[in-house]
Structure 1
């Protein structure tokens, strides 16, 4: 039975980077979702996201094919019902970074047996610097930080929480140890 490791936390807290490291360590696959936002340098179509047009996104929504969708910082993000329902039947574990609202929508299709929620926290100053380092404009940074408070509230839903302010290796090691302990309990 496949599990979905849901990484939640503020934008810029390191969810994507940590997820990639966990994928390497545990052989997890990235659970690819859809978005209308432009690709960032280094991103790959059908791996990082399914990058689609706003028109395609709206068509999926109109046809009731989305398990969840959200507009975040001016872009649309979502997950198809079909892809989400494949997780429990899969022999593979997956990881994904989600907002609190997306998590709540996922829970309409998955059970607690199928998911592990990990919260990754970083302070605002660290997040701002990370966003600047990856070329975000001041306007984009402000849009994304607008959700900081509600993103931090997601910690209450987590099975495990970790700080990722300074050393990403620290956060990856703490989460890896947590996953190993829980894998042993499940077997």
Structure 2
């Protein structure tokens, strides 16, 4: 990998983005994972600058005002975003930086960082995605219904991305992901 690049990693909840990303980073420590900024309070064990950059609402709003974020959104009463400077610094050092974000953030990145490589992780089917979400045993029926409705909307947007990878089998999906990344990074 010679030239730095921003890689946007998106897909519906339950598709296995986190599992794929952890495997990818384990096998390729030369890749960098972007650290987001948030206004929510740290959870036990979270370290500022490692898990998130924790800031006040006022600090976050100043970052938005001064164009310091590549993308941002409000979720569950808190703000989340991607700080521009750390990403640009890593890219200028020749690093490929991965940004795991939701669809709306990925759409913002298309405007703020048009050279980013945009990857979308797809489930093999909606039925399988529902099976995975239910298998977690973490969500209420109402939450599952909302997640699946949102997943349908997100899947319809997959063609907005440069590359789509189906996560049917973890090893196959990881190989396809590596091929897509290392052909372009």
TM interval, short-chain normalised? 0.7 to 0.9
1:83 aligns with 2:86: yes
Pairing 1:11-90 to 2, within 5 Å after superposition = 11-26=13-28, 27-36=30-39, 45-54=48-57, 56-72=59-75, 75-90=78-93
Query: Structure 1 94/81 Cα, relative in aligned 2: closer, same or farther at 3 Å?
Result: closer
CA deviation digits over 1:100-147, x for unaligned, max 9?
Answer: 3322322334342xx222211113444444445173444544444442
TM-score (norm 1): 0.74
What's the secondary structure of 1:107's corresponding residue? helix
TM-score (norm 2): 0.75
Query: Structure 1 11/65 Cα, relative in aligned 2: closer, same or farther at 3 Å?
Result: same
Give unpaired runs (5+ residues) of structure 1: none
* Worse-superposed segment, 78-87 or 170-179: 78-87
1:158 aligns with 2:161: yes
Q: Residue in 2 aligned with 1:8? A: 10
**Superposition RMSD on alpha carbons, in Å?**
3.2
On the 8 A contact 1:6/1:118 being kept in 2, the answer is yes
* Worse-superposed segment, 134-143 or 78-87: 134-143
